[in-house]
Amino acid sequence: MLKRGENDSFQQMSEEVINSREELSQRVRDRTADLVIAKTKALHLANHDVVTGLANRLSNRQATERLRDKKQPFSILFIDLDGFKVINDTYGHGIGDALLVKIGQQVSKHLFPSEILARYGGDEFVLLLPNDIDSDAVMATANSVLKLIKQPFQIGSHSLIISACIGAAIYNGVDSDTDSLIHRADVAMYQAKHAGKSQMILAD
């Protein structure tokens, strides 16, 4: 039988062990939560553009390949801004980045949930349009995007106006891979560029 002093000492030791276990359990929970947050952030960074927050090239490729694998019809718009270098040279890259963000937000809020706008690199964007293979509908969407981009963007004290050219390509089941499809849209975009500013061309 424990004496009173020994019992108090045993009780204190038991409480310390319990507290230590609770602290350890809390540390494990906190560490697990930190790992989940870190993994979520890493996944987001891997699939999103760091400047605009839009899907990035990798994410766009994966979404496109999923549609191809399911043999689901779709089209893409390859969008390239006109004269973006002038914006960067005149106002600085900070303003240029802010303009990219604004353009991404402006176009994105007019899209259907299934449509994906990605920043492909520099001043290039790619818009993925699932189930949209009617040429008239695709070009109507391209025209709407051009109009959205041409609206003035207020960034700080600057009111900026810019335009874009678009090359569109419809997946017809012939393209052997995602690169060939994007290449067709890219070529069409350069053809649109040669025609002037704010132009759009549908690839053959």
Confidence of residue 23 (pLDDT cuts 50, 70, 90): confident
Which tens digits make up the pLDDT trace of 135-153? Answer: 999 999 999 999 999 999 9
User: By the 8 A CB rule, do 81 and 164 touch?
Assistant: yes
Question: What does the pLDDT average to over 93-101?
Answer: 97
**Identity of the amino acid at 154:** Q
Structure tokens at 25: 């359990």
How far the first Cα of the chain sits from its last, in Å, is 95
Paired strand residues for 127: 77, 117
Statement: residue 113 has pLDDT above 80: yes
> Do residues 60 and 118 lie in contact, with contact meaning Cβ atoms separated by under 8 Å?
yes
pLDDT, the chain, mean: 87
pLDDT at 42: 47
Q: Check if the beta carbon of residue 100 is closer than 8 Å to that of residue 123.
A: yes
CA nearest 170: which of 72, 89, 102?
72
pLDDT at 43: 53
pLDDT of residue 17: 66
Confidence (pLDDT) at 5: 56
- Each residue of 30-85: pLDDT tens digit? 676 555 554 555 454 577 999 999 999 999 999 999 998 888 899 999 999 999 99
In the chain, count of helices (H) and strands (E)?
A: 6, 7
* Greatest mean pLDDT range, 13-17, 124-128, 133-137: 124-128
How confident is residue 178, by pLDDT bands cut at 50, 70 and 90? confident
- pLDDT for 49 equals 95
Q: Where are the alpha helices (DSSP H) in 70-109?
A: 84-91, 93-108
Contact 48, 62 (CB under 8 A): no
